[in-house]
Amino acid sequence: MVSELEQLAGSVMVCGFPGVEAPSEIRSWLADDSVAGLILFKRNIDDVQQTAELITSCTATQDPSLPILVCVDQEGGRVARFGDPILKLPAMRKLAEAADPELTTSAGAVLACQLRAIGINLDFAPVLDVDTNPDNPVIGDRAFGSTPQVVIEHALAFADGLHAGGVLSCGKHFPGHGDTDLDSHLALPTLRHDRERLEHVELPPFRAAVGRLPSIMTAHVVFDAFDSAPATISHRVIVELLRNEIGYDGVVFTDDLEMKALSALYPIEESGLLAIEAGCDILLICSDLEAAGKLREALAREADRHQAFRDKLEEARSRADALRQRVTTLPPPMSLENALDHAKVRALWERLGQLE
């Protein structure tokens, strides 16, 4: 039986796993309500029916008033975990170049309708990064544009569409990954711009997200203007800037703690503690269940030793639970058959095909 502190620790974690069937560890954590949610990747997906059955099996024991977060990165372009028959969206930059925010909203809504029918309730989209560096190896055409105005217009439109279709959104990657020259999956980037530049380019989309997007994801990037530590583990970035100055009160996800930008510096059980100390709410561990188990134990131990850390975990759980409860307020899913083939889907396929 899981302890109270282990349950508290797990309630601020979203985990991924290998294969098309949920391992016993995940099923045990789900049964004990000691994990906030799951994230799926291509490795978990054979086809939409299998994925729907996988999600149903994982969520069968959940409290309907506190649904498990079932998450995916389905942006469009090169970042898409599902293929046919899920709506194929172009890269977000291509979508924004149509200069039609209503089309962007429709794209988000139809995609969300399909994802929700499968069982997904949170999409790690839209990208709020501003694409200002042609040598950026990880963002590029994932961004809606090279100016904050274009990014704001289309990112918020896409998020509105996701919500209308029954899926929560998550803006990424705070405070901005658009001008880095390294991929944080592989190394730790540093952005050396001064505060004035960040205020004019990187930060406006995140300011616009206040009150509009229920969650934001951090960047494993050092911003010299704020701190020498990566943003994910920086109290100055998460609490002082995002919470206190910008006024964002939604959920803050870390990017995957397994990415080399952080994991080359700290074991996951240490970076997870640092992220909670910095003010993050949900820790993302995308594939390594052994590391996730060690992290849960480390969080529980720290909460047992230090009341101040336990208080931080309680605050993070409160936000995570509020996000989970928000799922119950979204439009209900339609049948998978209808979601995959109805008039709006066919019309949008045709329209998007003209953008290629």
CA angle 173, 177, 178 (to 5 degrees): 125
Active-site annotation holds for 255: yes
Active-site annotation holds for 33: no
Nearest to 146 by CA among 165, 124, 161, 127: 127
* Cβ(234)–Cβ(278) below 8 Å: yes
User: In the structure encoding, which two tokens stand for residue 139, read together?
Assistant: 């963002």
Q: HEC string of 100-161?
A: CHHHHHHHHHHHHHHHHHHCCCEECCCECCCCCCCCCCCCHHHCCCCCHHHHHHHHHHHHHH
Would you call 227 helix, strand, or coil by DSSP?
coil
d(CA 175, CA 278): 14
Catalytic residue among 183, 185, 193, 342: 185
Distances in Å between the Cα of 7 and the Cα atoms of 157, 182, 184, 305 are: 36, 36, 30, 16
Q: Report DSSP state, residue 335.
A: P
Catalytic residue among 255, 256, 281, 288: 255
Distances in Å between the Cα of 99 and the Cα atoms of 102, 105, 154, 342 are: 9, 12, 9, 25
Strands 79-80 and 168-169: unpaired
d(CA 45, CA 208): 34
d(CA 4, CA 197): 46
Distances in Å between the Cα of 267 and the Cα atoms of 14, 167, 218, 278, 283 are: 17, 32, 18, 16, 14
Catalytic residue numbers, as ranges: 185, 255
